[in-house]
């Protein structure tokens, strides 16, 4: 579904992605892991058109259509099903929960469909329904993450780029979020490309994992293989296996 080869991205004066190559198959959960500053967030931003790609190729294939991510119009990509749930959640704290959700469907003119999507998200995260008319800023960190994921789902993603869903959340809340991600993938067939500091959690649900270091993929393998590789856990992530 997604093929990236030799991707190079510069931020300021730094070439952050030096030569990034990866592949994500339809229906998979793929995880990008690696230490701070390795280039994980930059990868997602480049793929969704938020940062220019200096060199390399990035191709998305959906339903027989091919999109060149190095030059595609971001709105067209969203319409095709590439949705980015950014780092730090980026919800609108003064808007209500429902207003935030609606923003995720800004390209959708079919009100009945928008309502149906919202109902699906409320079924997934009932707390959002209960508080739908409240300002989103009053939600806890975990609830805000649910809202950020919900808003992304309003765009009916086929490929969801998800940046650090566990950021700042308590372990039980992170677990709940990861269970939901696993269900979204297994039951609704949403392909996920996940960036995570919490490598253990991410690799545990991922079909494929990529260890990023200095803007390139240093190691790739199945989630299970990487999880069981003491070299990965020790040398790259500063964790003991
Ligand atoms: N706005 C920016 N301008 C210039 N350089 C930046 C900018 N944002 C990030 N960088 C640099 O890009 C590099 C990679 O950052 P990136 O956010 O992609 O890393 P990451 O792997 O996602 O790590 P983190 O988990 O800390 O976000 C870092 O060296 C960082 O200093």
- Number of structural domains the chain divides into: 2
* Order of strands, sheet of 14-24, starting from the edge strand that comes earlier in the sequence: 65-68, 55-62, 2-11, 14-24, 216-222, 208-213, 29-33, 191-195, 159-163, 82-85
How many angstroms separate the alpha carbon of residue 120 from the centre of ligand 1?
A: 34
- Report how many helices (DSSP H) and strands (DSSP E) the chain contains, helices first: 10, 10
Tell me which of 156, 171, 200 is where a domain ends: 156
Mean pLDDT estimate for the chain: 92
Span between the terminal Cα atoms of the chain, in Å: 31
Residues 97 and 205 in one domain: no
Residues 181 and 65 in one domain: yes
Residues 74 and 114 in one domain: no
- What is the C-alpha to C-alpha distance for residues 100 and 114, in angstroms, rounded to an integer? 13
Tell me which of 137, 156, 175 is where a domain ends: 156
* Contact status, residue 70 vs residue 53, Cβ threshold 8 Å: yes
Residues 146 and 94 in one domain: yes
Residue 94 in tokens: 């003064």
* Contact status, residue 156 vs residue 117, Cβ threshold 8 Å: yes
What letter would DSSP give residue 177? H
User: Which atom of ligand 1 lies nearest, measured to the CA of 215?
Assistant: 14
pLDDT for the residue numbered 233: 74
Residues 16 and 52 in one domain: yes
User: Which atom of ligand 1 lies nearest, measured to the CA of 38?
Assistant: 21
Ligand 1 pocket (Cβ < 6 Å) reads 11-12, 14, 16, 34, 36-42, 197
Environment class of 171 (CB within 10 Å of its CB; exposed 0-12, middle 13-18, buried 19+): exposed
How does pLDDT run across 103-133, given as a tens digit for each residue?
Answer: 999 888 899 999 999 999 999 999 999 999 9
Residues 141 and 175 in one domain: no
pLDDT interval class at 240 (50, 70, 90): very low
Ligand 1 probe mutation, 9, 12, 16, most atoms within 8 A of CB: 16
How does pLDDT run across 198-231, given as a tens digit for each residue?
Answer: 888 999 999 999 999 999 999 999 999 998 888 7
Nearest residue CA, atom 5 of ligand 1?
11
Strands 14-24 and 159-163: unpaired
The CA radius of gyration of the chain, in Å to the nearest whole number, is: 17
Residues 67 and 108 in one domain: no
pLDDT interval class at 236 (50, 70, 90): low
Region 138-156: mean pLDDT is: 94
Tell me which of 156, 185, 203 is where a domain ends: 156
Task: Give CA separation, 114 vs 9, 51, 94, 156, in Å.
Answer: 35, 29, 21, 10
User: Which atom of ligand 1 lies nearest, measured to the CA of 163?
Assistant: 22
ipTM above 0.85, yes or no: yes
pLDDT interval class at 72 (50, 70, 90): confident
Residues 23 and 133 in one domain: no
How does pLDDT run across 162-201, given as a tens digit for each residue?
Answer: 999 998 888 899 999 999 999 999 999 999 999 998 888 9
Residues 207 and 142 in one domain: no
The angle that helices 141-154 and 171-188 make with each other, rounded to 10 degrees, is 20
* Contact status, residue 63 vs residue 224, Cβ threshold 8 Å: no
pLDDT for the residue numbered 241: 38
Region 89-97: mean pLDDT is: 93
> Domain holding 17: CATH number?
3.40.50.300
How many angstroms separate the alpha carbon of residue 188 from the centre of ligand 1?
A: 32
Nearest residue CA, atom 25 of ligand 1?
36
pLDDT interval class at 36 (50, 70, 90): confident
How many angstroms separate the alpha carbon of residue 53 from the centre of ligand 1?
A: 15
pLDDT for the residue numbered 234: 72
- Mean pLDDT lowest for which of 20-29, 86-95, 232-241? 232-241
Residues 173 and 69 in one domain: yes
Residues 166 and 200 in one domain: yes
What letter would DSSP give residue 48? T
Residue appearing with tokens 């190095």: 70
Residues 109 and 212 in one domain: no
Whether the pLDDT of residue 235 is over 80: the answer is: no
Domain that holds residue 169: 1-81+159-241
* Contact status, residue 54 vs residue 10, Cβ threshold 8 Å: yes
């Amino acid at each position: 579904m997604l093929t990236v080869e030799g991707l190079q991205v510069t931020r300021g004066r730094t070439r952050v992605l030096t030569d990034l190559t990866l592949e994500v198959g339809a229906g998979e959960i793929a995880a990008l892991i690696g230490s701070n500053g390795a280039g994980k967030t930059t990868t997602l931003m480049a793929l969704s058109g938020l940062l220019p790609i200096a060199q390399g190729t990035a191709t998305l294939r959906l339903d027989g259509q091919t999109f060149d991510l190095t030059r595609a119009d971001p709105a067209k990509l969203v319409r095709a099903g590439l949705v980015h749930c950014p780092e730090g959640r980026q919800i609108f704290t003064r808007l209500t929960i429902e207003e935030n959700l609606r923003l995720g469907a800004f390209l959708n003119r079919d009100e009945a469909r928008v309502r149906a999507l919202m109902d699906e998200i409320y079924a997934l995260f009932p707390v959002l329904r209960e508080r739908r008319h409240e300002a989103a800023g009053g939600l806890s960190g975990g609830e805000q993450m649910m809202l950020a994921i919900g808003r992304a789902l309003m765009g009916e993603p086929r490929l969801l780029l998800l940046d650090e869903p566990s950021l700042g959340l308590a372990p039980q809340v992170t677990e709940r979020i990861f269970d939901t991600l696993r269900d979204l993938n297994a039951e609704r067939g949403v392909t996920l490309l996940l960036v995570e500091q919490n490598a253990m959690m991410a690799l545990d649900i991922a079909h494929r994992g990529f260890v990023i270091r200095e803007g390139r993929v240093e190691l790739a393998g199945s989630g299970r293989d990487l999880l069981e590789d003491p070299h990965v856990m020790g040398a790259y992530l500063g964790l003991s296996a």
